[in-house]
Amino acid sequence: MEGENSSKIIYAKPYLVKSIDECDFYHYMDIPGNGAIVGKWDLRNNVDKYLGDVVFKEKRVLELGTASGFLCFEMEKRGAEVVAFDIGENCEWDIIPFAQYDYKLKIEEFKCYCNRMKNAYWFAHKALNSNAKAVYGSIYDIPKEIGSVDIATFCSILLHLRDPFLALQSASSLVKQQIIITDLVPDGMFFPVNMFRRAAGNFFRKYLFKRKEAYKNNNFPYMEFLPDFKTLRHKDTWWSLSPEIIINFLGVLGFEETRVTYHFQKLYGKKKRLFTIVGKRTKNTMSVEVMK
């Protein structure tokens, strides 16, 4: 089932992590011999909704941004062959380059945190007897040697990337069937006053400015730049992305059929509303190197 052009050279060699004290977990995880491990997000009771209710049995999956591996191992439990991808040791971090403080110190903090999450991945990998492979590198230049995959997942990572479209484009060249994208619902998206404003704006765009083709939905595509130089908020979060702009991204890349669902997940014990988009490939724009 492994991709035709895949090479063992690109896969990271598993390493032994002796103590859980060397780890940081991004998600809550149940690990044999260690019980329930605390993380930022708890997806355990609603993971299928988070992944768009997609069937993973006998699918080859490229998971972008695996962190400590919770979703990787959950997809593997559902019958997938998973290639987990995360940032490489020598890759540049997409930290917001605020001029108001030494942001390079933040990069060093994130590298340390990332290394502890990699430890968590390999600690759980061994405890769960996982067969998943891992690749480390730049999400903007994903190795073609991974080979073709049936599905790629981008779970709550596009908002942290300087160029979310380029990341999608890089991965999409390997994908034969579906891309799954999960992200936070923009603040205020479901407030009645904002829904009215969007509907009114779309009405004028459609009938006054004759821009019918771009505004078929009640909500129009947008992305909001979040970093605030006055408060220094959002040091590692670039964007708030509407479902519609992600649908447009996917359409450009040849995934024209999309399905959007909404669900709640727990972040630090509090409910957060997220959306998941499942895009189906309708146009064959896969990389020539992968298709050979």
Asked if pLDDT for residue 211 goes beyond 70, the answer is: no
Tell which wins on pLDDT, 101 or 202: 101
Reported pTM: 0.87
11-20, Cβ contacts within 8 angstroms, sequence gap of 24 or more:
11/133, 11/134, 11/135, 12/133, 12/134, 12/135, 12/136, 14/122, 14/125, 14/126, 14/134, 15/122, 16/122, 16/126, 17/119, 17/120, 17/122, 17/123, 17/126, 20/123
Question: What is the phi/psi pair of residue 49, to 5°?
Answer: -65, -40
Which of 152, 139, 190 lies closest to 277 in space, CA to CA? 152
The share of the chain scoring above pLDDT 70, in percent, equals 84
CB 289 within 8 A of CB 144: yes
What's the pLDDT band for 200 if we cut at 50, 70, 90? low
CA–CA distance, 79 with 68 (Å, rounded to integer): 19
- For residues 253-259, average pLDDT: 97
Domain ranges of the chain: 8-187+220-291
Looking at the domain covering 8-187+220-291, what would its CATH class be? alpha beta
Residues near 275 by Cβ (< 8 Å), separated by ≥ 6?
182, 183, 185, 243, 260, 261, 262, 263
Asked if pLDDT for residue 50 goes beyond 90, the answer is: yes
Following DSSP, what letter does each residue of 34-74 receive, concatenated? TEEEP-SEE-TTSHHHHTTT---TT-EEEEE--TT-HHHHH
Question: What is the phi/psi pair of residue 245, to 5°?
Answer: -70, -35
Asked if pLDDT for residue 257 goes beyond 90, the answer is: yes
- For residues 256-280, average pLDDT: 97
Q: For residue 274, give the DSSP letter.
A: E
CB 27 within 8 A of CB 39: yes
CA–CA distance, 73 with 67 (Å, rounded to integer): 11
Which stretch of 33-47, 98-112, 181-195, 200-214 has the lowest confidence by average pLDDT?
Answer: 200-214
